[in-house]
Structure 1
Amino acid sequence: MTTVRETIRRESANLTLSERKIGDAVLADYPFGALQTIQELAERTGVSAPSITRFVGKLGFAGYQEFQRQLITEVRESRRSPLQLKATEKLGSAGSFLADYARRATERIHEMSASVPQEQFDRVLTLLADPNRAVFLVGGRISDNIAGFLSVHLKQIRPKVHHLPPNPEHWPDLLLSIRKQDVLVLFDFRRYQRDLEHLAEIVAKQCRPSIVLITDKWMSPIARHSDHVVALPIEIETAWDTLVCAIAFAEALIVKVSEMNWPTTKDRLAAWDRLRLSPPSQPLEESDDR
């Protein structure tokens, strides 16, 4: 199902100046910015009600009510739990479940490669690879494991990488050090966490770093505070959403950040291994450049 957000962005080139103004207002507080009366939206945007009607018509809706019904459906989808997803799951044959699940996961990876532009990946990559920027990472109840995975690898590659601890009471210690030039990366998928939204709001207002949100197509509310929003596929027709795309996206970042300045990364990895309590086995042949 294509979201209203995706449709607005797809049709942006075909919109008039007034219609783009409406679209910008809807996206600025998505989806709640359009869950008001047509008169209230007209007043907020400074355009006429007929212009809003023409706007939703260009998006393919029969009227403003149908447009709002679609937004309400998206809100419901963004809050679906495993118990609700269980009612619509399609497990297929038990004898070939693993192979079928691998196929579905592969399809989600291909979907990600088609829906996330290379330019967007490169913008996030540039932020994370900049040694002058400190990087702070955190995720939700499940997705924080991916934030931790990414942070562990980034710490080996470059300095000034911080994974926020699980207890929010310990966050201020790190947040006090965030500067405007730094980066905050948040992972938040449907059944979004309010504490992460509150964190993003506070940091956006008080610290103003670049905020990168990794989320799904329904968009975490954190999107309204973010500079970069990466929407990844998570539906896989089971009671449990998949984070395979989030892991693949994180792994791709790790590979490319390490390659942005490989000589520095190489030296840091070598120093890291020398300082480990249980260093790995030495290679059979030492390089001559030591």
Structure 2
Amino acid sequence: MTVREMIKRENANLTVSERKIGDAVLADYPFGALQTIQELAERTGVSAPSITRFVSKIGFAGYQEFQRHLIAELKESRSSPLELKATEKPSKGGAFLADYARRASDRMHEMSQSVPQEQFDRILTLISDPARAIFVLGGRISDNIATFLSIHLKQIRPKVHHLPSNPEHWPDLLLSIRKQDVLILFDFRRYQRDLESLADIVAKECRPSIVLITDKWMSPIARHSDHVVALPIEIQTAWDTLVCAIAFVEALIVKVSESDWPTTKARLEAWDTLRLVSPAQPSGDKDDR
């Protein structure tokens, strides 16, 4: 369990001063608590003993253990396949595909338990609103999922834009973002600085609703986001899995299409009419090969 999760778990049991500490830690997570206890006390206006009681209440023996846990999280959030390879769990009996499918299934079940239906519904409401333009982008690998989402949404509704990978081309689309629009970003561990910079600029200059799809360590984009979906990605191999991200996106696509099915149906029919497909061969013609 991350420190973030521990704080949220104990939130109802915290005093006013302890909630103030928790808010300060979460506001600049995890860096907000990687300072001395005196510096954190001065920044929050809360006494050092109150901070000690806070870290004890959320589950740590002391402030040093609390910080060690945060540092370990920070290292995990930057783990590469080379580092993950050292901790992978081999499959049993050589049946790797079946074992991998079981692990993926476990992650899917974990997602179903950890992502609240209310959060899914709030994001669905934003994306389903035809008055809002949708802008989508992902990281070096996760942009494939952003592409997958944008291609399907474009068939369902208008005003869907997939930002290009080259930041030099972003201003053209960013100039059209309005406060009522939605920016969806995908960013998983080994987070990309250009995406964080994009979120920072858009949050300050355009102020749309920002939806972040990330992992339990939380991309730095979280501090700029209105909705943060933390998905399981660890699968005990050298490579993280994006199976939960794909499933989450597929679920959104299904429900967005159903939110106004008559309009979706009409758009799909028009879309298929305009598709550039090769003319069918007359039934009597033979293949020239």
- TM > 0.5 fold call: yes
Give matches, 1:69-88, under 5 Å: 69-88=68-87
The answer to whether the aligner puts 1:49 opposite 2:38 as a matched pair is no
Alpha-carbon distance in structure 1 between the residues aligned to 2:112 and 2:122: 16
Which residue in the other structure is 2:259 paired with? 260
Question: What is the alpha-carbon distance in structure 2 between the residues aligned to residue 254 and residue 145 of structure 1?
Answer: 15
Q: Which residue of 2 aligns with 1:116?
A: 115
Letter of the aligned partner of 1:56 in structure 2?
V
Per-residue deviation, 1:168: 1.1
Q: Which amino acid aligns with 2:139?
A: G
Specify the alignment match of 2:27 in structure 1: 28
**Equivalence for 2:147:** 148
* Structure-1 residue corresponding to 2:197: 198
Deviation at 1:243, TM superposition (A): 0.2
Deviation at 1:91, TM superposition (A): 2.3
Q: 1:212 to 1:279 in 2, by over 3 A?
A: farther
Q: Which residue of 2 aligns with 1:95?
A: 94
Aligned-partner Cα distance in 2 for 1:251–1:260: 14
* Structure 1 position 166, deviation (Å): 1.4
Task: Note the C-alpha offset of 1:39.
Answer: 1.1
Ranges in structure 2 where 5+ consecutive residues have no aligned partner: 281-289
Instruction: Confirm whether residue 7 of structure 1 aligns to residue 6 of structure 2.
Output: yes
Mapping 1:126-275, distance limit 5 Å: 126-275=125-274
Q: 1:257 to 1:91 in 2, by over 3 A?
A: same
Letter in 2 for 1:158: R
Question: What do the CA deviations read for 1:158-186 (whole angstroms, capped 9, x no partner)?
Answer: 10000011111111110110001100000
The residue number in structure 2 matching 1:287 is none
CA separation in 1, counterparts of 2:229 and 2:16? 26
Q: Which residue of 1 aligns with 2:277?
A: 278
* Identity in percent: 84
Q: What is the root-mean-square deviation in Å for CA atoms of aligned residues? A: 1.2
Quote how far apart the aligned CAs of 1:95 are: 3.1
Match of 1:212, SS state, is: strand
Tell me how far apart the structure 1 counterparts of residues 175 and 146 of structure 2 sit (CA, whole Å): 20
Q: Is the 8 A contact 1:4 1:71 kept in 2?
A: yes
Equivalent position amino acid for 1:226 in 2: S
- Looking at structure 2, the residues matched to 42 and 278 of structure 1 have their Cα atoms a distance apart, in angstroms, of 66
Q: 1:47 to 1:163 in 2, by over 3 A?
A: same
Where does the alignment leave 5 or more consecutive residues of structure 1 unmatched? 282-290
- Looking at structure 1, the residues matched to 278 and 218 of structure 2 have their Cα atoms a distance apart, in angstroms, of 42
How far residue 280 of structure 1 moved from its aligned partner, in angstroms, is 10
TM-score (normalised: structure 1) = 0.95
Q: Distance in 2 between matches of 1:167 and 1:279?
A: 33
TM-score normalised per structure 2: 0.95
Deviations 1:7-55 (A, max 9, x none): 1001100001111111011111100001111111111111111111110
- Stretches of 4+ aligned residues off by more than 4 angstroms: none
Counterparts of 1:44 and 1:279, CA distance in 2: 66
1:50–1:258 CA distance, 2 compared to 1 (3 A): same
Matched letter for residue 249 of structure 1:
F
1:231 deviates by 0.1
Aligned partner letter, 2:43: R
Q: Structure 2: how far apart are the matches of 1:245 and 1:198?
A: 25
